[in-house]
Amino acid sequence: MSVVTLTINDELVSAQEGQTLLSVLQERGIEVPTLCHLDGLSERGGCRLCMVEMEGSGRLQAACVTQVQEGMVVSTHSERLVKYRRMILELLFSERNHVCAVCVMNGHCELQWEAAKIGMDHVRYEYLNPDLPMDASHERFVVDHNRCILCTRCVRVCDEIEGAHVWDVMGRGVNSRTIVDLNQPWGTSQSCTSCGKCVQVCPTGALFSKGATVAEMEKQHNFLRWILDGREKKIWSYENGK
């Protein structure tokens, strides 16, 4: 595989052809916020938090869905980018009813972490306060649409890893909603295997285990790596627990 050379934040960097820009940034320890990206799942480019500036292009590009190219000149933390990232987070918070203080994921939530990291101390936009339901019909899990950011990790993990494709998205724009099968109560789904992968990859308190109370829910992504290592590299055990 051939090597390409690009410039990131005024530094010359080599990368392999076909690599995404986000993976190069992560390899080099350059932290850009992400929400819809999750190692092991296909990229969606939906949350737009990993946007970078690219010389010669007026548009901002999402690093997770941009392949590295020879001679690329990239900037990851300009004033404009930080401003936009904060704006995106504020819009996410204003779009639904997150209310961190009483959330099952308070203190363990990726949306909350990103907001804290960027210094989002308040939301400048009017809250939409949509009237959204909770679906607690599943025996073990609950979906609370009030806390969904439409990252579609649940949709992708169910389709790509579990192979059940229970989850999908309906509607457009601000009215989009994740749905089970043909938009029915989760408890009535015949395709759901109750594996819980969707719950574990959900970055917020939108999907959680039934019976969890405030700040009690913590999620584990490790299983994705184990499944994929087995499937793709035939690695079935890890030495020293690694």
Partner 1 sequence: MSRTILIDPVTRIEGHAKITIHLDEDGQVADARFHVTEFRGFEKFCEGRSFWEMPGITARICGICPVSHLMASAKAGDAILGIHIPPTAAKLRRLMNWAQIVQSHALSFFHLSGPDLLLGMDSDPAKRNLMGLVEKFPDVARNGIRLRRFGQKVIEILGGRSVHPAWVVPGGVREPLSDENRSKIRRMLPEAFDIVGLALDVLKDSFDQFRDEEAMYGNFPSLYMGLVTPDGGLEHYDGLLRVVDSDGAILEPGLPPARFREILGEAVEPWSYLKFPFYKPAAIREAQGGRSTLHYPAGMYRVGPLARLNVCDCAGTPRADAELREFRRLAPRGRPVANSFHYHYARLIEILYALERIAETIDDPSITDKRVRAHAEVNNMIGVGVSEAPRGTLFHEYHIDENGILQKVNLIIATGQNNLAMNRTVKQIAQYHIKDGKVTEGVLNRIEHGIRLYDPCLSCSTHAVGQMPMVVEVYDAGGKLIDRVKRE
Closest separation in Å from C-beta 181 to partner 1 = 17
Closer CB to partner 1, 133 or 171, in the complex: 133
Closest separation in Å from C-beta 108 to partner 1 = 13
**From CA 13, how far away is CA 224, in angstroms rounded?**
29
How many residues touch partner 1 under the rule CB under 8 A: the total is 17
* Residue 7 makes contact with partner 1 by CB under 8 A: no
Closest separation in Å from C-beta 215 to partner 1 = 6
Angle, vertex CA 177, rays to CA 171 and CA 180, nearest 5: 105
Helix and strand numbers (H, E) in the chain are 6, 10
Closest separation in Å from C-beta 165 to partner 1 = 24
H helices of the chain, where?
A: 21-27, 79-95, 110-118, 153-156, 197-201, 222-233
* Residue 104 makes contact with partner 1 by CB under 8 A: yes
Q: Two tokens at 146?
A: 């009030």
Q: Which of residues 108-127 bind partner 1 (CB under 8 A)?
A: none
* Contact residues for 195 (Cβ-Cβ < 8 A; gap 6+): 162, 164
**From CA 107, how far away is CA 113, in angstroms rounded?**
8
Place of tokens 């290592």: 229
Are the CB atoms for 87 and 81 separated by under 8 Å? no
Closer CB to partner 1, 1 or 101, in the complex: 101
Q: Which of residues 133-172 bind partner 1 (CB under 8 A)?
A: 133-137, 142
Q: Which of 119, 163, 173, 211 binds partner 1 (CB under 8 A)?
A: 211
Closer CB to partner 1, 86 or 147, in the complex: 147
Interface residues with partner 1 (CB under 8 A) are 101-102, 104, 133-137, 142, 187, 210-216
